[in-house]
């Protein structure tokens, strides 16, 4: 009886601590200060941290992950926090397996999230500060999938930065040199990947926020060899396709009848296009060229088309259609008449009032997905998209937006299309590294 009584007291004490901690978080007015409070808890009382996070995921994920981490990335080196992840630098060549083993503390690592910080959201090259994204992303495996945090490793490949502001900042904790390129970079990645595989033969590795010049080729190189995926290319594509399929249940239209226009032709955008086109082929009799002809892209120079073929990176070429060049998004919407408008550009406010109004004129229920993170980089807010389409919009965004009240008094809740909601991959997706190894 004494043991039972003691267990009850322990349970009550733990519950009271959780309530008190949650109340403390809610009293903090600034999101960045909430983040720091949670980081301190993570270091001092990890059991309470994870209990709080799991039991209050909807409220706290925006604090420890997007959109608050958008503020954190830029000033990560300045923040009074303990680093939870593993830092790998060129000087560690030859000892990476030992470093991974030392960090794991004897645990069987099941998941690694690794970044080199070259292309962090819409913020560009943040070098070592990319550790913030690895630490934030790794939490999702515990919160969303119940994976023991002891077997989850966040990691940054600190190979320098081309960001002059960071190199000149005396508080920057990263390697103070221009980015490592070429064979030296590849050799470091090779040893790191080999070390992950040697550490445990079947560990899932997530590539996160690598620049275009490395993201596609690393995925193509390692996906057939190790259990790995690129979250920016494949994770974004999966959640975007899920959003499109959900939206089509509202419109009642078929996927092969859609015309998709994507602003932004980097990893995320072209990944979205490839997967939506594959879904078209799987649900209809469309050929690959026919499905690709239904998907258009604008990059920083304008519409991707055949007249620009000599100037395009390889991942853009499948979408270089034989159509006239258009140099701006509004004219592209008017001439191409898309049913779905996707933002993967990191250009905050790019979906203007006139663009949204035009989408609403073309479509009874326009589908508009501003997927760029953080909120400051979102192509359009939910409030504006709703207002500018007279409430007709079917909306999903990369960062969360608050619900709003419509003219009739009804509350409207915007959907969030964030990679956090993707937990598995279609084993049948072969295009551009969309290969699935067995999950851990």
Burial classification of residue 281, based on how many CB atoms lie within 10 Å of its CB (0-12 exposed, 13-18 middle, 19 or more buried): middle
Is residue 3 pLDDT above 60, yes or no? no
Instruction: Give the C-alpha separation, 7 to 147, whole Å.
Output: 25
8 Å CB contact between 122 and 160: no
The mean-pLDDT minimum among 142-151, 183-192, 243-252, 345-354 falls in 142-151
Query: Rounded to the nearest 10 degrees, what angle do helices 2-27 and 31-44 cross at?
Result: 150
Lowest mean pLDDT among 115-124, 343-352, 429-438: 429-438
The residue behind tokens 């701006």 is 328
387 given a catalytic annotation: no
The span from the CA of 181 to the CA of 184, in Å, is 6
333-358 mean pLDDT: 97
pLDDT (0 to 100) of residue 2: 47
Question: Does residue 308 have a known ligand-binding role?
Answer: no
Pairing of strands 404-405, 411-412: antiparallel
pLDDT (0 to 100) of residue 400: 86
Give me the pLDDT at residue 378, please. 93
| Helical residues (DSSP H) of 116-181, grouped into ranges | 131-145, 164-167
**Which of the residue ranges 196-205, 292-301, 346-355 would you say has the lowest mean pLDDT?**
196-205
Task: Answer yes or no: is 209 a known binding residue.
Answer: yes
Stretch among 49-53, 276-280, 436-440 having the lowest mean pLDDT: 436-440
3-class DSSP state of 220? helix
Exactly one of 34, 35, 65, 141 is catalytic; name it.
65
**Residue 16 tokens, joined:** 């009271």
Q: Please, are residues 321 and 312 in contact by the beta-carbon 8 Å criterion?
A: no
Give 7's pLDDT tier (boundaries 50, 70, 90): very low
Element (H, E) at 182: helix 182-199
Distance from C-alpha of 110 to C-alpha of 153, rounded to nearest angstrom: 8
Instruction: Answer for the pair 393, 379: CB distance below 8 angstroms, yes or no.
Output: no
419 is in an annotated binding site: no
CA distance 395 to 402: 13
Closest CA to 275 of 312, 306, 232: 232
- Whether residue 419 contacts residue 136, with contact meaning beta carbons closer than 8 Å, is answered with no
Query: The tokens of 300 are what?
Result: 């920083």
Nearest CA to 295 out of 327, 329, 272 is that of 272
Mean pLDDT across the chain, nearest whole number? 90
d(CA 45, CA 349): 40
CA angle at residue 228 from 226 to 230, to 5 degrees? 150
Residue showing tokens 């120079």: 301
Please compute the mean of the pLDDT values over residues 112-121 and round it to a whole number.
92
d(Cα 248, Cα 257) in Å, to the nearest integer? 10
Q: What pLDDT is stored for residue 42 in this prediction?
A: 95
Strand-pair partners of 367? 340, 394
Question: In this structure, what are the phi and psi dihedrals at residue 322, rounded to the nearest 5 degrees?
Answer: -85, 75
19 pLDDT more than 80: yes
Q: Omega into 67 within 30° of 0, i.e. cis?
A: yes
On the question of pLDDT at 10 being above 50, the answer is no
Per DSSP, 55 falls in state H
Main-chain dihedrals φ then ψ at residue 230, nearest 5 degrees: -105, 115
Q: How far apart are alpha carbons 215 and 223 in whole angstroms?
A: 12
For residues 260 and 224, the answer to whether their CB atoms sit within 8 Å is: no
pLDDT digits (tens, 9 = 90+) for 376-435: 889 999 999 999 999 999 999 998 899 998 888 899 999 998 887 775 333 333 333 333
Mean per-residue pLDDT, 349-368 = 98
Of the given ranges (20-24, 144-148, 245-249, 327-331), which has the lowest mean pLDDT?
A: 144-148
pLDDT of residue 67: 79
Over its C-alpha atoms, the chain yields an Rg (Å, rounded) of: 23
Tell me if residue 156 falls in helix, strand or coil: strand
Q: Two tokens at 155?
A: 């990691």
Is 418 known to sit in a ligand binding site? yes
**Domains assigned to the chain:** 13-64 (1.20.1370.30), 87-210 (3.40.50.10380), 234-431 (3.40.50.720)
**Residue 252: pLDDT band by 50, 70, 90 thresholds?**
very high
The answer to whether 148 is annotated as binding is no
pLDDT of 121:
72
Cα(224)–Cα(437) distance, rounded to whole angstroms? 8
Peptide bond into 28 cis (omega under 30): no
The share of the chain scoring above pLDDT 90, in percent, equals 77
pLDDT at res. 13: 62
Q: Has residue 68 got a pLDDT over 90?
A: no
What is d(CA 325, CA 335) in angstroms, rounded to the nearest whole number? 11
Q: Is 137 in the active site?
A: yes
Exactly one of 34, 137, 197, 278 is catalytic; name it.
137
Neighbours of 403 (CB within 10 A): 10
Note the helical H segments in 295-352: 329-336
């Amino acid at each position: 009886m004494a043991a039972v009584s003691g267990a009850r007291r322990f349970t009550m004490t733990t519950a009271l601590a959780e309530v008190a901690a949650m109340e403390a978080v809610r009293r903090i007015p600034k999101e960045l200060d909430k983040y720091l409070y949670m980081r301190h808890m993570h270091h001092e009382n990890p059991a309470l941290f994870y209990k709080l996070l799991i039991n209050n995921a909807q409220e706290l994920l925006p604090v420890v992950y997007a959109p608050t981490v958008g503020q954190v990335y830029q000033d990560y080196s300045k923040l009074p926090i303990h680093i939870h992840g593993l830092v790998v630098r060129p000087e560690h060549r030859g000892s990476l397996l030992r470093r991974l083993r030392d960090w794991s503390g004897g645990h069987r690592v099941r998941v690694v999230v690794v970044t080199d910080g070259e292309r962090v959201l819409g913020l560009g090259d943040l070098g070592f500060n990319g550790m913030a994204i690895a630490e934030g992303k790794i939490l999702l495996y515990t919160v969303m999938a119940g994976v023991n945090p002891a077997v989850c490793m966040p990691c940054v490949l600190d190979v320098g930065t081309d960001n002059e502001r960071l190199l000149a900042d005396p508080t920057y904790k990263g390697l103070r040199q221009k980015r490592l390129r070429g064979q030296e970079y590849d050799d470091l990645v090779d040893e790191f990947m080999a070390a992950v595989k040697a550490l445990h033969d079947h560990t899932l590795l997530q590539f996160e926020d690598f620049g275009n010049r490395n993201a596609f080729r690393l995925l193509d190189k390692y996906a057939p060899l190790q259990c790995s995926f690129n979250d920016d290319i494949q994770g974004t594509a999966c959640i975007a396709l899920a959003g499109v399929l959900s939206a089509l249940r509202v419109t009642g239209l078929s996927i092969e009848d859609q015309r998709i226009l994507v602003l932004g032709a980097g990893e995320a955008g072209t990944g979205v296009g490839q997967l939506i086109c594959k879904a078209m082929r799987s649900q209809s009799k469309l050929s690959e060229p026919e499905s690709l002809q239904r998907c258009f892209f604008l990059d920083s120079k304008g519409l991707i088309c055949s007249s620009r073929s000599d100037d395009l990176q390889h991942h853009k070429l499948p979408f270089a259609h034989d159509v006239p060049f258009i140099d701006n998004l509004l004219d592209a919407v008017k001439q191409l008449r898309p049913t779905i408008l996707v933002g993967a550009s990191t250009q905050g406010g790019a979906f203007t009032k006139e663009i949204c109004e035009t989408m609403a004129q073309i479509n009874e229920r326009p589908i508009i997905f501003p997927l760029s993170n953080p909120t400051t980089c979102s192509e359009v807010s939910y409030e504006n998209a709703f207002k500018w389409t007279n409430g007709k919009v079917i909306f999903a965004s990369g960062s969360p937006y608050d619900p709003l009240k419509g003219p009739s008094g009804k509350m409207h809740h915007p959907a969030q299309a964030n990679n956090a909601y993707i937990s598995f991959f279609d084993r049948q997706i072969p295009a551009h590294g969309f290969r699935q190894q067995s999950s851990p």
